[in-house]
Amino acid sequence: MQVSLTATGGLERRLEVAVPAERVAREIEQRLKQISRTARLKGFRPGKAPLSVVRQQFGGQVRTEVIGELMRTTFAEAVTKENLKPATGPRIEPIAMDPGSDLRYAAIFEVLPEIKLRPLDGVTIERPVASVTEEDVDAMVESMRRQRPEFVEVQRPAQANDRVTIDYEGRVDGQPVEGASGTDVSFIVGGGRVMPELDQAVRGAAAGETRTAEVQYPAEHPTPSLAGKRVQFNLTVKKVEEQRLPEVNEEFCRAFGVESGSVEELRAEVRQSMERELAELVRNRLRSQVMDALYRENTIEVPRALVEEQIRELQIDFARRTGARDLSQLPPRETFEEPARRRVALGLIISEIVRSEGIKVDRAKLDARIDEIASAYPNSDEVRRAYLQSPEAIRGIESAVLEDQVVDWVLERVKINDKPMSFKEVTGFGQNSESQT
């Protein structure tokens, strides 16, 4: 077998392979002999047909199959001989395939880049240092109270955070319009669940009062009877209810899964949950900085084919999250170019660290990760068994554990500056609710 290698630019390689005609003929002959042992041909007992008849019947099909297999096997042999690391499968271009002559073809593919990792001793990473205080627990319990408000009817005008119940009817030029009416519709004033014009109209209105509001619908509105129309709504407030937060008592505690009803036990569980969340967020911040540093410090050329695969994955993920049904609804592919390139580069850099440093999957960490995933399900034992019996699932978890171990490896080699922060600063807890009040 003769092999000729050419670098055609960047990471792309062109590998020309010539397979001797004798090898092709030998492979074809062996395959025909195998077929002759079991072939059922008219006029002959099974396996007794002459080889010449078998060749006449199956020769063309066998030759096509053998050539395909030879291309695959000889490409693998050639890659090994040339010490190449293909990034993806090759594009095959036949050169000569005539019977009786050498099989010649070209394989075009990209190779993985050579990576020389840069030292990390000049990298500085900031580590948030925070703890959960009693005030943080108080704030979380208060947030839990707001999750279970009680509504009590009041005889006063509606204000922010009240729940109102209304009947409404929309008209265009004095005529009722389809799709613009409702009965006994309830919503929280200022909750952002209804059109701003309706929300504003009920403010200051008590039960029994009637208000009007005008809404200009956009031309692209999905309801044809409303698209581009200016609709006048007549609405009647039927009920105003005030939010009152529940007391933190036994009933409240049981509602959040504390069977004993103990407030102290509830607070202890809340603290533990907050500490887990804090630790995870700190870890995520460290991981993000580590990935930024690896990407910044190790500039590498990446295979275009791998970038294209990642762009496609990002597009599919975007479509799934946003409900887009076809590519015309996606942002331009250039939007995904840099994130895809970063993903590919980091994957190659992490793989090189794992290889060069001989990092192996920590079995204890793997088991802990599986337990963590399984614990989120009521049938945790069954989920754990399912994961252990799925090689694909295990490979995915092993990849995540290895990445965590690489993060630990990097953190041992960089300078870490501790930055004192509060729980609120690290988690952002309470910021959304504060901005709404």
Cα 35 off chain centre by: 48
User: What confidence tier does 437 reach under pLDDT thresholds 50, 70, 90?
Assistant: very low
Instruction: Please state the rounded mean pLDDT for residues 257-273.
Output: 95
CB-based contact 215:230 (threshold 8 Å): yes
Name the strand (E) or helix (H) holding 126. strand 124-129
Q: 128-133+261-436 has which fold?
A: Trigger factor, domain 2 (1.10.3120)
Q: Which residue has the higher pLDDT, 58 or 138?
A: 138
Of 184-188, 202-206, 431-435, which gets the smallest average pLDDT?
431-435
Closest of 245, 264, 297, 327 to residue 413, by C-alpha: 297
- What are the pLDDT digits (tens) for 188-215? 999 999 999 999 999 999 999 999 999 9
Is pLDDT at 45 greater than 70 in this prediction? no
> Residue 113 burial by CB count (10 A; 0-12/13-18/19+): exposed, middle or buried?
middle
Of 121-130, 255-264, 325-334, 417-426, which gets the smallest average pLDDT?
325-334
Is pLDDT at 434 greater than 60 in this prediction? no
Q: Where are the domains of the chain?
A: 2-110, 128-133+261-436, 150-244
Percent of the chain with pLDDT strictly greater than 90: 75
Is pLDDT at 417 greater than 70 in this prediction? yes
CA atoms within 13 A on the CB side of 237: 32
Is pLDDT at 433 greater than 50 in this prediction? no
Is pLDDT at 108 greater than 70 in this prediction? yes
- What are the pLDDT digits (tens) for 272-317? 999 999 999 999 999 999 999 999 999 999 999 999 999 999 988 8
Looking at residue 436, its pLDDT comes to 38
Q: Which residue has the higher pLDDT, 50 or 240?
A: 240
Looking at residue 33, its pLDDT comes to 83
User: What confidence tier does 431 reach under pLDDT thresholds 50, 70, 90?
Assistant: low
Other beta carbons within 10 angstroms of residue 200's beta carbon come to 14
Q: 150-244 has which fold?
A: Chitinase A; domain 3 (3.10.50)
How far is residue 132's CA from residue 287's CA, in Å, rounded to a whole number?
Answer: 21
> Whole-prediction pTM value?
0.76
List alpha helices for 91-235, DSSP H: 134-147, 196-202
Looking at residue 263, its pLDDT comes to 96
Looking at residue 47, its pLDDT comes to 67
Q: In CATH, what number does 2-110 get?
A: 3.30.70.1050
User: What confidence tier does 432 reach under pLDDT thresholds 50, 70, 90?
Assistant: low
CB-based contact 155:249 (threshold 8 Å): no
How far is residue 403's CA from residue 366's CA, in Å, rounded to a whole number?
Answer: 12
- What are the pLDDT digits (tens) for 208-260? 999 999 999 998 888 888 888 899 999 999 999 999 999 999 999 999 999 99
Name the strand (E) or helix (H) holding 352. helix 334-357
CB-based contact 428:182 (threshold 8 Å): no
List alpha helices for 123-249, DSSP H: 134-147, 196-202
Residues whose CB falls within 8 Å of the CB of residue 68, separated by 6 or more in sequence, listed in order: none
Token duo for residue 221: 């509105």
Write down the mean pLDDT value for the chain.
91
Helices 391-411 and 363-374, interaxial angle, to 10°? 120
Token duo for residue 46: 């099974």
Instruction: Please state the rounded mean pLDDT for residues 407-417.
Output: 96
Of 18-27, 47-56, 110-119, 394-403, which gets the smallest average pLDDT?
47-56
